[in-house]
Amino acid sequence: MTDMPLVRTSREEIEVYRFGPVISVMIPLLALVIQAFVPVKFRSFAIFDLPLLVTIFFAVARRSQVAGMLTGAVIGLVQDALTHQAIGLYGIAKTVVGYGASSLGVKIDVENPGTRLLVTSGFYLVHQAVYFLVARNVLGVAMEWLWARTLLAALLNGIVAIVLFGVLDRFKHST
């Protein structure tokens, strides 16, 4: 655990990370495959959103808004393609999250586990809210906003993010 302050004080403190092309493709792909495969055996696993966590991780590590939103858009659209709903729902939600996470990564320290928990939980709520609004208002899908379930899912995703980000940290290279 480092004693770094949560808020950056100068541009010099910002460290931008890069990933190899193989990692950039394989990790999101692996997240999508696991997300699609594990719920077949354990339905409750669907409460997690590994593609969202990967989106947040890449966005905050690269600290580039363009890269963040594009990563989010691509991962979201691929996730959409696996559902039976119209393509674009997850795409829009993850584009917003990618943009927001990369913007936040510039301003705060996201290496801290506590910050990671808060950031991930917060962006999970944003993601669900955007999805809900678009699905309900654009597509007219009958959906219910379940507060208890959504908050629980946000917390669980935040906890998983701490572990996952710790593993993914090994693949990033500082520039």
Partner 1 sequence: MENFFSRYRNASLLVLLLVAQVVGLGVQVRRRTEAGGTRLVRFWVVSAITPLERALVGANQGVRSVWRNYLYLRGVRQENRDLKAQIERLRIEQVRLSEDAAQARRLQALLGFKEQYIAQTVAAQVIGSSGSDQSHVIYIDKGANDGIKPDMAVITPNGIVGKVLRVFHGSSQVLLINDPSSGVGAILQSSRLQGILQGTAAGEVMLRYVMSDEKVAAGEPVLTSGGDRIFPKGLPVGAVQQTNPGSDLFLNIRVKPAADLSRLEEVLVVTKIEENIPAEPAGPVRAADILAERLPSVPPKPPALAAKGTTASAATVAKPAATNPSNSATAASTSGAQPSTSPAIQSRTNGAAATAKPAVGGPEPAARSSGEATPDTVAKKPAAKPAETAPAVGTVGGTAGTATKPAVVQPAANKPVGNGEAGRTKAIDSAGQPVKPAAPPQPPSGEEVPR
Q: Is residue 40 at the binding interface for partner 1, with CB under 8 A as the rule?
A: yes
Q: Is residue 148 at the binding interface for partner 1, with CB under 8 A as the rule?
A: no
Q: Is residue 154 at the binding interface for partner 1, with CB under 8 A as the rule?
A: no
Q: Is residue 170 at the binding interface for partner 1, with CB under 8 A as the rule?
A: no
Structure token digits, residue 103: 């913007």
CB closer to partner 1 out of 112 and 120: 120
Q: Is residue 155 at the binding interface for partner 1, with CB under 8 A as the rule?
A: no
Q: Given candidates 17, 23, 24, 78, which one binds partner 1 under the rule CB under 8 A?
A: 78
SS3 (DSSP) at 8? coil
10 Å Cβ neighbour count for 47? 14
Q: Given candidates 71, 79, 120, 121, which one binds partner 1 under the rule CB under 8 A?
A: 79
Q: Is residue 108 at the binding interface for partner 1, with CB under 8 A as the rule?
A: no
* 165-169 contacts at long range (C-beta below 8 A, 24 or more positions apart): 165/53, 165/57, 165/116, 166/113, 168/27, 168/54, 168/57
- CA–CA gap between residue 136 and residue 146 (Å, rounded): 14
